Amino acid sequence: MRLPLPFISLLVHCYVAWRLLPVLWSSTPAGFVLLALWLVASALLLPMAVRSVHSRVLKVASLVAMGLFSSLFVLTFLRDLALLAGTAWSLADSAMLERLPGFERDSALAVPLIAILVTAWGTFNARSLARVRRVDVPIAGLPAGFEGFTIAQLSDVHVGPTIRKGYVQAMVDRVNTLDADMVAITGDLVDGSVPTLSAHVAPLAGLKSRHGSYFVTGNHEYYAGAHAWIAELRRIGMTVLLNSHVSIPDRQGGAPLVLAGVADYSAGQFDPAHRSDAQAAMAGSPATAAARVLLAHQPRSAEPAEAAGFDLQLSGHTHGGQFWPWNHFVRFQQPYVAGLHRLGKMWVYVSRGTGYWGPPKRFLAPSEITLLRLVKG
Protein backbone atom coordinates (compact mmCIF):
# COMPACT_ATOMS: atom_id res chain seq x y z
CA MET A 1 0.00 0.00 0.00
CA ARG A 2 1.37 3.39 -0.99
CA LEU A 3 1.07 5.95 1.81
CA PRO A 4 -0.11 9.45 0.84
CA LEU A 5 2.56 12.14 0.96
CA PRO A 6 0.79 14.36 3.54
CA PHE A 7 0.64 11.37 5.90
CA ILE A 8 4.35 10.65 5.45
CA SER A 9 5.13 14.32 6.04
CA LEU A 10 3.06 14.30 9.23
CA LEU A 11 4.76 11.10 10.39
CA VAL A 12 8.34 12.34 10.05
CA HIS A 13 7.48 15.71 11.59
CA CYS A 14 5.87 13.92 14.54
CA TYR A 15 9.08 11.96 15.03
CA VAL A 16 11.13 15.17 15.32
CA ALA A 17 8.49 16.73 17.61
CA TRP A 18 8.47 13.64 19.86
CA ARG A 19 12.25 13.61 20.19
CA LEU A 20 12.89 17.34 20.72
CA LEU A 21 9.83 19.19 22.00
CA PRO A 22 9.45 17.53 25.43
CA VAL A 23 13.05 18.36 26.30
CA LEU A 24 12.71 21.96 25.05
CA TRP A 25 9.48 22.40 27.03
CA SER A 26 11.32 21.78 30.29
CA SER A 27 14.55 23.59 29.41
CA THR A 28 13.84 26.32 26.82
CA PRO A 29 10.13 27.23 26.58
CA ALA A 30 10.74 29.87 23.90
CA GLY A 31 12.57 27.28 21.81
CA PHE A 32 9.66 24.89 22.32
CA VAL A 33 7.15 27.42 20.97
CA LEU A 34 9.26 28.40 17.95
CA LEU A 35 10.08 24.83 16.97
CA ALA A 36 6.48 23.65 17.48
CA LEU A 37 5.12 26.42 15.25
CA TRP A 38 7.71 25.77 12.59
CA LEU A 39 7.07 22.01 12.59
CA VAL A 40 3.35 22.60 12.02
CA ALA A 41 4.07 24.98 9.11
CA SER A 42 6.71 22.65 7.68
CA ALA A 43 4.43 19.60 7.83
CA LEU A 44 1.83 21.50 5.78
CA LEU A 45 4.35 22.94 3.31
CA LEU A 46 6.48 19.88 2.63
CA PRO A 47 4.03 18.01 0.33
CA MET A 48 3.84 21.11 -1.89
CA ALA A 49 7.57 20.81 -2.65
CA VAL A 50 6.99 17.88 -5.00
CA ARG A 51 3.58 18.89 -6.36
CA SER A 52 2.35 21.51 -8.80
CA VAL A 53 1.39 24.65 -6.88
CA HIS A 54 -0.12 27.74 -8.53
CA SER A 55 1.43 30.16 -6.04
CA ARG A 56 5.15 30.65 -6.62
CA VAL A 57 5.50 32.06 -3.08
CA LEU A 58 4.09 28.85 -1.60
CA LYS A 59 6.28 26.75 -3.89
CA VAL A 60 9.45 28.56 -2.84
CA ALA A 61 8.43 28.38 0.84
CA SER A 62 7.84 24.63 0.53
CA LEU A 63 11.26 24.08 -1.06
CA VAL A 64 13.01 26.08 1.68
CA ALA A 65 11.07 24.09 4.28
CA MET A 66 12.15 20.85 2.63
CA GLY A 67 15.81 21.84 2.84
CA LEU A 68 15.59 22.87 6.48
CA PHE A 69 13.56 19.85 7.56
CA SER A 70 15.97 17.50 5.80
CA SER A 71 18.83 18.68 8.01
CA LEU A 72 16.62 18.76 11.09
CA PHE A 73 15.46 15.18 10.54
CA VAL A 74 18.97 13.84 9.90
CA LEU A 75 20.45 15.64 12.92
CA THR A 76 17.59 14.43 15.14
CA PHE A 77 18.26 10.87 14.02
CA LEU A 78 22.01 11.23 14.68
CA ARG A 79 21.23 12.69 18.12
CA ASP A 80 19.15 9.62 18.88
CA LEU A 81 22.01 7.36 17.84
CA ALA A 82 24.35 9.34 20.12
CA LEU A 83 21.89 9.03 23.02
CA LEU A 84 21.56 5.30 22.38
CA ALA A 85 25.35 4.91 22.37
CA GLY A 86 25.61 6.99 25.54
CA THR A 87 22.98 4.87 27.27
CA ALA A 88 24.84 1.68 26.35
CA TRP A 89 28.11 3.19 27.56
CA SER A 90 26.53 4.27 30.84
CA LEU A 91 25.84 0.62 31.70
CA ALA A 92 29.58 0.23 32.23
CA ASP A 93 30.45 3.79 33.28
CA SER A 94 28.44 5.57 35.97
CA ALA A 95 30.05 8.90 35.09
CA MET A 96 28.47 8.73 31.65
CA LEU A 97 25.09 8.12 33.25
CA GLU A 98 25.44 11.43 35.10
CA ARG A 99 26.36 13.32 31.93
CA LEU A 100 23.51 11.98 29.77
CA PRO A 101 20.74 14.35 31.00
CA GLY A 102 22.88 17.39 30.24
CA PHE A 103 23.70 16.09 26.76
CA GLU A 104 20.05 15.31 26.10
CA ARG A 105 19.03 18.86 27.08
CA ASP A 106 21.83 20.68 25.25
CA SER A 107 21.57 18.58 22.08
CA ALA A 108 17.80 19.17 21.84
CA LEU A 109 18.55 22.89 21.46
CA ALA A 110 21.69 22.40 19.34
CA VAL A 111 19.96 20.25 16.69
CA PRO A 112 17.55 22.94 15.37
CA LEU A 113 20.22 25.65 15.67
CA ILE A 114 22.72 23.61 13.64
CA ALA A 115 20.00 22.77 11.09
CA ILE A 116 19.27 26.48 10.66
CA LEU A 117 22.96 27.37 10.28
CA VAL A 118 23.60 24.57 7.78
CA THR A 119 20.53 25.57 5.77
CA ALA A 120 21.45 29.27 5.80
CA TRP A 121 24.98 28.48 4.61
CA GLY A 122 23.66 26.02 2.05
CA THR A 123 21.19 28.58 0.73
CA PHE A 124 23.96 31.16 0.36
CA ASN A 125 26.07 28.63 -1.56
CA ALA A 126 23.18 27.63 -3.83
CA ARG A 127 22.11 31.17 -4.63
CA SER A 128 25.67 32.33 -5.37
CA LEU A 129 26.67 32.04 -9.01
CA ALA A 130 28.58 28.83 -9.71
CA ARG A 131 32.35 29.17 -9.83
CA VAL A 132 34.45 28.03 -12.77
CA ARG A 133 36.14 24.66 -12.29
CA ARG A 134 39.00 23.97 -14.72
CA VAL A 135 39.78 20.37 -15.63
CA ASP A 136 42.41 18.97 -18.01
CA VAL A 137 41.48 15.72 -19.76
CA PRO A 138 44.35 13.74 -21.34
CA ILE A 139 43.38 12.15 -24.66
CA ALA A 140 45.74 9.56 -26.12
CA GLY A 141 47.02 10.56 -29.54
CA LEU A 142 45.25 13.93 -29.55
CA PRO A 143 46.46 15.83 -32.65
CA ALA A 144 48.05 19.25 -32.31
CA GLY A 145 45.02 20.91 -33.90
CA PHE A 146 42.89 20.01 -30.87
CA GLU A 147 45.52 20.48 -28.18
CA GLY A 148 43.96 22.86 -25.65
CA PHE A 149 40.43 22.57 -27.14
CA THR A 150 38.03 23.80 -24.44
CA ILE A 151 34.48 22.78 -23.59
CA ALA A 152 32.41 24.89 -21.20
CA GLN A 153 29.99 22.48 -19.53
CA LEU A 154 26.74 23.53 -17.89
CA SER A 155 24.55 20.94 -16.26
CA ASP A 156 21.49 20.62 -14.02
CA VAL A 157 20.62 24.30 -14.03
CA HIS A 158 16.99 23.48 -13.15
CA VAL A 159 15.44 26.77 -14.24
CA GLY A 160 12.16 26.85 -12.32
CA PRO A 161 10.57 28.27 -9.19
CA THR A 162 13.80 29.62 -7.65
CA ILE A 163 16.26 29.81 -10.57
CA ARG A 164 15.09 32.53 -12.93
CA LYS A 165 16.27 34.77 -15.75
CA GLY A 166 18.70 36.78 -13.61
CA TYR A 167 20.69 33.72 -12.57
CA VAL A 168 20.69 32.35 -16.13
CA GLN A 169 21.94 35.67 -17.52
CA ALA A 170 24.74 35.84 -14.94
CA MET A 171 25.70 32.26 -15.81
CA VAL A 172 25.81 33.10 -19.53
CA ASP A 173 27.92 36.20 -18.86
CA ARG A 174 30.44 34.14 -16.91
CA VAL A 175 30.66 31.45 -19.59
CA ASN A 176 31.24 34.11 -22.22
CA THR A 177 34.36 35.27 -20.37
CA LEU A 178 35.94 31.83 -20.80
CA ASP A 179 36.51 32.08 -24.58
CA ALA A 180 35.51 28.41 -24.95
CA ASP A 181 35.66 26.46 -28.19
CA MET A 182 32.18 25.06 -27.52
CA VAL A 183 29.46 24.94 -24.87
CA ALA A 184 27.84 21.69 -23.71
CA ILE A 185 24.65 21.58 -21.64
CA THR A 186 24.24 18.07 -20.24
CA GLY A 187 20.56 18.01 -19.34
CA ASP A 188 18.10 18.94 -16.61
CA LEU A 189 18.01 22.52 -17.79
CA VAL A 190 14.39 23.13 -16.76
CA ASP A 191 11.72 22.28 -14.22
CA GLY A 192 8.60 23.50 -15.96
CA SER A 193 6.87 24.01 -19.28
CA VAL A 194 7.96 26.13 -22.24
CA PRO A 195 5.15 28.72 -21.78
CA THR A 196 6.13 29.14 -18.12
CA LEU A 197 9.91 29.27 -18.47
CA SER A 198 10.89 30.22 -22.03
CA ALA A 199 11.57 33.84 -21.02
CA HIS A 200 13.87 32.65 -18.23
CA VAL A 201 15.79 30.31 -20.54
CA ALA A 202 16.06 32.93 -23.32
CA PRO A 203 19.47 34.32 -22.17
CA LEU A 204 21.07 31.04 -23.30
CA ALA A 205 20.75 32.35 -26.85
CA GLY A 206 23.58 34.72 -25.90
CA LEU A 207 26.14 31.97 -25.18
CA LYS A 208 29.30 32.55 -27.22
CA SER A 209 31.88 30.03 -28.37
CA ARG A 210 33.74 29.20 -31.57
CA HIS A 211 31.72 26.09 -32.41
CA GLY A 212 28.33 26.73 -30.84
CA SER A 213 26.18 25.36 -28.02
CA TYR A 214 25.05 21.73 -27.75
CA PHE A 215 22.36 20.18 -25.59
CA VAL A 216 21.24 16.71 -24.52
CA THR A 217 18.09 15.90 -22.60
CA GLY A 218 18.01 14.99 -18.92
CA ASN A 219 15.24 13.19 -17.09
CA HIS A 220 13.65 16.47 -16.00
CA GLU A 221 13.12 17.55 -19.61
CA TYR A 222 10.82 14.55 -19.98
CA TYR A 223 8.85 15.55 -16.89
CA ALA A 224 8.45 19.06 -18.35
CA GLY A 225 7.62 18.20 -21.98
CA ALA A 226 10.81 17.21 -23.80
CA HIS A 227 9.53 17.64 -27.36
CA ALA A 228 8.43 21.23 -26.73
CA TRP A 229 11.74 22.06 -25.05
CA ILE A 230 13.77 20.51 -27.85
CA ALA A 231 11.93 22.71 -30.34
CA GLU A 232 12.39 25.79 -28.14
CA LEU A 233 16.10 25.25 -27.63
CA ARG A 234 16.61 24.75 -31.34
CA ARG A 235 14.67 27.97 -31.93
CA ILE A 236 17.11 29.96 -29.78
CA GLY A 237 20.11 28.54 -31.61
CA MET A 238 21.21 25.39 -29.78
CA THR A 239 22.09 22.11 -31.44
CA VAL A 240 20.18 19.29 -29.74
CA LEU A 241 21.92 15.92 -30.02
CA LEU A 242 19.47 13.00 -29.78
CA ASN A 243 21.49 9.84 -30.31
CA SER A 244 23.36 11.75 -33.00
CA HIS A 245 26.67 13.49 -33.60
CA VAL A 246 28.39 16.38 -35.32
CA SER A 247 31.95 16.69 -36.57
CA ILE A 248 34.03 19.67 -35.46
CA PRO A 249 36.82 20.47 -37.92
CA ASP A 250 40.48 20.55 -36.97
CA ARG A 251 41.83 24.08 -37.27
CA GLN A 252 44.97 22.59 -38.86
CA GLY A 253 43.07 20.48 -41.40
CA GLY A 254 43.45 17.10 -39.70
CA ALA A 255 40.86 14.60 -38.51
CA PRO A 256 37.74 16.15 -36.93
CA LEU A 257 36.55 15.85 -33.36
CA VAL A 258 33.34 13.84 -33.08
CA LEU A 259 30.85 15.32 -30.62
CA ALA A 260 27.87 13.07 -29.93
CA GLY A 261 24.93 13.14 -27.58
CA VAL A 262 22.44 10.60 -26.28
CA ALA A 263 18.99 11.15 -24.85
CA ASP A 264 18.67 10.65 -21.12
CA TYR A 265 19.26 7.14 -19.79
CA SER A 266 15.55 6.87 -18.86
CA ALA A 267 14.18 8.64 -21.97
CA GLY A 268 12.84 5.44 -23.51
CA GLN A 269 10.28 5.18 -20.69
CA PHE A 270 8.73 8.44 -21.91
CA ASP A 271 9.25 8.08 -25.66
CA PRO A 272 10.56 4.82 -27.18
CA ALA A 273 11.97 6.84 -30.10
CA HIS A 274 14.28 8.61 -27.61
CA ARG A 275 15.77 5.46 -26.10
CA SER A 276 19.37 6.26 -25.20
CA ASP A 277 21.71 4.63 -27.70
CA ALA A 278 25.46 5.33 -27.75
CA GLN A 279 26.01 3.11 -30.79
CA ALA A 280 23.41 5.07 -32.79
CA ALA A 281 25.05 8.33 -31.69
CA MET A 282 28.37 7.10 -33.09
CA ALA A 283 26.92 5.61 -36.30
CA GLY A 284 28.20 7.23 -39.49
CA SER A 285 30.94 9.19 -37.74
CA PRO A 286 34.37 9.48 -39.41
CA ALA A 287 36.47 6.32 -39.16
CA THR A 288 39.36 8.43 -37.92
CA ALA A 289 38.71 11.15 -35.36
CA ALA A 290 40.90 13.35 -33.22
CA ALA A 291 38.70 12.42 -30.24
CA ARG A 292 35.20 11.15 -29.61
CA VAL A 293 33.27 13.03 -26.95
CA LEU A 294 29.81 12.03 -25.72
CA LEU A 295 27.31 14.19 -23.87
CA ALA A 296 25.12 11.97 -21.65
CA HIS A 297 23.09 13.30 -18.75
CA GLN A 298 23.50 10.35 -16.38
CA PRO A 299 26.89 8.82 -15.46
CA ARG A 300 25.40 5.33 -15.77
CA SER A 301 25.44 5.79 -19.55
CA ALA A 302 29.21 5.26 -19.31
CA GLU A 303 29.43 1.51 -19.92
CA PRO A 304 27.64 1.54 -23.29
CA ALA A 305 29.55 4.71 -24.20
CA GLU A 306 32.90 3.06 -23.50
CA ALA A 307 31.82 0.01 -25.51
CA ALA A 308 30.88 2.29 -28.42
CA GLY A 309 34.42 3.69 -28.48
CA PHE A 310 34.14 7.14 -26.95
CA ASP A 311 37.18 8.78 -25.36
CA LEU A 312 35.32 11.10 -23.00
CA GLN A 313 31.81 11.29 -21.58
CA LEU A 314 30.47 14.48 -19.98
CA SER A 315 27.62 13.99 -17.53
CA GLY A 316 25.76 15.60 -14.64
CA HIS A 317 22.57 14.44 -12.89
CA THR A 318 24.08 13.74 -9.46
CA HIS A 319 24.52 17.36 -8.26
CA GLY A 320 27.43 15.89 -6.30
CA GLY A 321 24.76 14.95 -3.76
CA GLN A 322 23.80 18.66 -3.41
CA PHE A 323 23.92 18.66 0.37
CA TRP A 324 25.16 16.37 3.10
CA PRO A 325 24.46 13.55 3.82
CA TRP A 326 22.77 12.72 0.50
CA ASN A 327 26.10 12.78 -1.34
CA HIS A 328 26.80 9.40 0.32
CA PHE A 329 23.65 7.87 -1.21
CA VAL A 330 24.13 8.92 -4.86
CA ARG A 331 26.65 6.13 -5.42
CA PHE A 332 23.88 3.55 -4.92
CA GLN A 333 22.25 4.76 -8.16
CA GLN A 334 25.16 6.11 -10.18
CA PRO A 335 28.69 4.74 -10.70
CA TYR A 336 30.27 8.18 -10.18
CA VAL A 337 29.21 11.12 -8.01
CA ALA A 338 31.45 13.97 -9.19
CA GLY A 339 34.76 14.71 -10.87
CA LEU A 340 36.97 12.92 -13.41
CA HIS A 341 37.01 9.12 -13.53
CA ARG A 342 38.44 6.41 -15.76
CA LEU A 343 36.38 3.55 -17.22
CA GLY A 344 38.44 1.28 -19.45
CA LYS A 345 39.80 3.50 -22.22
CA MET A 346 37.30 6.29 -21.61
CA TRP A 347 37.27 9.27 -19.25
CA VAL A 348 34.03 10.23 -17.49
CA TYR A 349 33.59 13.71 -16.09
CA VAL A 350 30.59 14.29 -13.79
CA SER A 351 29.61 17.88 -13.06
CA ARG A 352 28.15 18.77 -9.65
CA GLY A 353 25.69 20.94 -11.56
CA THR A 354 25.43 24.64 -12.24
CA GLY A 355 22.13 25.12 -10.40
CA TYR A 356 20.27 22.85 -7.99
CA TRP A 357 17.07 20.87 -7.73
CA GLY A 358 14.39 21.41 -5.11
CA PRO A 359 15.63 23.13 -1.97
CA PRO A 360 17.85 26.14 -2.68
CA LYS A 361 20.61 24.50 -0.68
CA ARG A 362 24.14 23.27 -1.35
CA PHE A 363 26.35 22.04 1.48
CA LEU A 364 29.70 20.31 0.89
CA ALA A 365 28.79 19.98 -2.82
CA PRO A 366 29.54 23.28 -4.59
CA SER A 367 27.94 24.09 -7.94
CA GLU A 368 30.19 24.56 -10.95
CA ILE A 369 30.62 25.89 -14.45
CA THR A 370 33.21 23.48 -15.82
CA LEU A 371 35.87 24.40 -18.35
CA LEU A 372 37.34 21.15 -19.69
CA ARG A 373 40.54 21.34 -21.72
CA LEU A 374 41.64 18.49 -23.96
CA VAL A 375 45.37 17.78 -23.73
CA LYS A 376 47.53 15.14 -25.34
CA GLY A 377 47.76 12.10 -23.07
d(CA 345, CA 263): 22
Compare 253 and 306 and report the one with higher pLDDT. Answer: 306
Residue 132, Cβ density class (10 Å: 0-12 exposed, 13-18 middle, ≥19 buried): middle
pLDDT band at 237 (very low <50, low <70, confident <90, very high): very high
pLDDT tens profile 249-299: 988 878 899 999 999 999 999 999 999 999 999 999 998 899 999 999 999
Specify whether 287 is located in the same domain as 149.
yes
Q: Which of 126, 144, 175 is the last residue of a domain?
A: 126
When the pLDDT of each residue in the chain is averaged and rounded to a whole number, the result is 93
Q: Does one domain contain both 237 and 110? A: no
pLDDT at 1 exceeding the cut of 60:
no
Q: Does one domain contain both 218 and 280?
A: yes
Closest CA to 111 of 60, 5, 38: 38
Say how far apart CA 313 and CA 75 lie, in whole Å: 37
Residues 201 and 280 in one domain: yes
Statement: residue 3 has pLDDT above 80: no
Assess whether 54 and 186 both reside in one domain.
no
Give the pLDDT confidence score for residue 306 in this predicted structure.
Answer: 97
pLDDT at 125 over 90: yes
What's the total number of domains in the chain?
A: 2
Last residue of a domain, one of 104, 126, 148: 126
pLDDT class of 97 with cuts at 50, 70, 90: low
**The last residue of a domain, from among 126, 142, 174:** 126
Q: What is the pLDDT of residues 354-364, one digit of tens each?
A: 999 999 999 99
Residues 121 and 206 in one domain: no
Do residue 69 and residue 177 come from a single domain?
A: no
Please, which residues have CB within 8 angstroms of residue 164's CB and are 6 or more apart in sequence? 200
Considering the domain architecture, whether residues 53 and 197 belong to the same structural domain is answered as no
Give the range of the structural domain holding residue 328, as residue numbers without chain letter: 130-376
| SS3 assignment for the chain | CCCCHHHHHHHHHHHHHHHHHHHHHHHCHHHHHHHHHHHHHHHHHHHHHHCCCCCHHHHHHHHHHHHHHHHHHHHHHHHHHHHHHHHHHHCCCHHHHHHHHHHHHHHHHHHHHHHHHHHHHHHHHHHCCCEEEEEEEEECCCCHHHCCCEEEEECCCCECCCCCHHHHHHHHHHHHCCCCCEEEECCCCECCCHHHHHHHHHHHHHCCCCCCEEECCCHHHHHHCHHHHHHHHHHCCCEECCCEEEEECCCCCCCCEEEEECCCCCHHHCCHHHCCCHHHHHCCCCCCCCEEEEECCCHHHHHHHHHHCCCEEEECCCHHHCECCHHHCHHHCCCCCCEEEEECCEEEEECCCCCCCCCCCCECCCCEEEEEEEEEC
Both 291 and 143 in a single domain? Answer: yes
- How do residues 172-207 score in pLDDT, each as one tens digit? 999 999 999 999 999 999 999 999 999 999 999 999
pLDDT at 129: 95
CA-CA-CA-CA torsion sign (224, 230, 234, 240)? positive
What's the CATH code of the domain at 312? 3.60.21.10
Contact status, residue 296 vs residue 265, Cβ threshold 8 Å:
yes
> Same domain, yes or no, for 219 and 357?
yes
- Within this chain, do residues 243 and 122 fall inside the same structural domain, yes or no? no
Comparing 83-87, 275-279, 347-351, the range with the smallest average pLDDT is: 83-87
Q: Are 324 and 183 within one domain?
A: yes
49 or 234: whose pLDDT is higher?
234
- pLDDT for residue 268: 94
pLDDT for 175: 98
